[in-house]
């Protein structure tokens, strides 16, 4: 797994101005967590446990750049105790974390597009952006991260069948809002390393 920070976003609730990006090197699954620019290594570790570990367990290796928040003794000690190797990329080998850099570019382009009219809404839209990234075909694998991670495609409003819209989704407004948000992401992802799905799994 690789990780990196994206900063420079509009300040929102709790003083968050950035995103901590986790990327699985095999499935390309992405997990995103809003963070303040004062985020520490300890905070990042807690976000990993809360947002990644509880779903997937520990990775065999952990790759990051030389951000001081990710190279502190806390990280070295934590992962040594947990039996996980921490590989730090060097200036001579910037390709080590090229995967996360690509994800960061796609993430920034996506947020810039879907939040153009209201930049301060980025943290509220982050869960839907994460879902869209994980439900789009990745160029290097030919599959969606969701499919590689669990051999399944997640249900979305357009794939639900039977019953009434209100009985399934507790109101048509919820379906309309989610469909609109995810649909907005398709043209953005299409222009990057991800390609939109043509299956019913993509809205």
Answer yes or no: is 143 within a domain: yes
pLDDT exceeds cutoff 50 at 163: no
What pLDDT band is residue 161 in, cutting at 50, 70 and 90?
low
What percent of the chain has pLDDT above 90?
28
pLDDT exceeds cutoff 90 at 177: no
For 48, the domain range is 2-195
Residue 176: its pLDDT value, please? Answer: 58
Residue 199: its pLDDT value, please? Answer: 33
The residue among 75 and 143 whose pLDDT is bigger is 143
Answer yes or no: is 201 within a domain: no
Which has the closest alpha carbon to 183: 112, 129, 144, 121? Answer: 129
Contacts of 77 (CB under 8 A, 6+ apart): none
Average the pLDDT over 164-180 and give the result: 49
Which has the closest alpha carbon to 98: 67, 65, 138? Answer: 65
User: What is the count of structural domains for the chain?
Assistant: 1
For residue 139, give the DSSP letter: T
Nearest 5°: the CA angle 43, 48, 52 is: 155
Answer yes or no: is 83 within a domain: yes
Residue 201: its pLDDT value, please? Answer: 35
pLDDT exceeds cutoff 70 at 168: no
Residue 67: its pLDDT value, please? Answer: 82
For residue 109, the domain's CATH number is 3.30.420.10
How far is it, in rounded angstroms, from Cα 44 to Cα 123?
A: 17
What H or E segment, with its residue span, contains residue 76?
Answer: helix 73-81
Answer yes or no: is 75 within a domain: yes
Answer yes or no: is 203 within a domain: no
Answer yes or no: is 134 within a domain: yes
Model pTM score: 0.69
Answer yes or no: is 200 within a domain: no
Q: Whole-number mean pLDDT of the chain?
A: 76
pLDDT exceeds cutoff 50 at 196: no
Answer yes or no: is 33 within a domain: yes
What pLDDT band is residue 190 in, cutting at 50, 70 and 90?
low
Q: For the segment 45-97, what is each residue's pLDDT rounded down to a tens digit?
A: 888 888 998 899 888 887 887 788 887 756 776 777 677 776 666 555 454 56
What percent of the chain has pLDDT above 70?
69
The residue among 164 and 36 whose pLDDT is bigger is 36
């Amino acid at each position: 797994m690789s990780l990196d920070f994206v900063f420079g976003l509009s300040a929102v609730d709790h003083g968050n101005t950035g995103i901590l990006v986790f990327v699985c090197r095999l499935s390309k699954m992405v997990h995103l967590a809003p963070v303040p620019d004062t985020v520490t290594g300890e905070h990042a570790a807690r976000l990993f446990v809360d947002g990644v570990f509880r779903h997937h367990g520990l990775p065999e290796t952990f790759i990051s750049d030389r951000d001081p928040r990710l190279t502190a003794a806390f990280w070295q000690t934590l992962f040594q105790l947990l039996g996980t190797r921490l590989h730090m990329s060097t200036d001579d080998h910037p390709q080590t974390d090229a995967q996360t850099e690509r994800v960061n570019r796609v993430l920034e382009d996506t947020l810039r597009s879907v939040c153009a009219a209201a930049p301060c809404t980025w943290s509220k839209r982050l869960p839907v952006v994460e879902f869209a990234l994980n439900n789009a075909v990745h160029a290097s694998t030919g599959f969606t991260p969701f499919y590689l991670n669990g051999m399944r495609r997640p249900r979305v409003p357009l794939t639900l069948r039977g019953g009434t819209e209100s009985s399934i989704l507790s109101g048509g407004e919820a379906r309309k809002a989610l469909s609109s948000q995810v649909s907005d992401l398709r043209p953005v992802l299409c222009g990057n390393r991800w390609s939109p799905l043509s299956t019913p799994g993509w809205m």
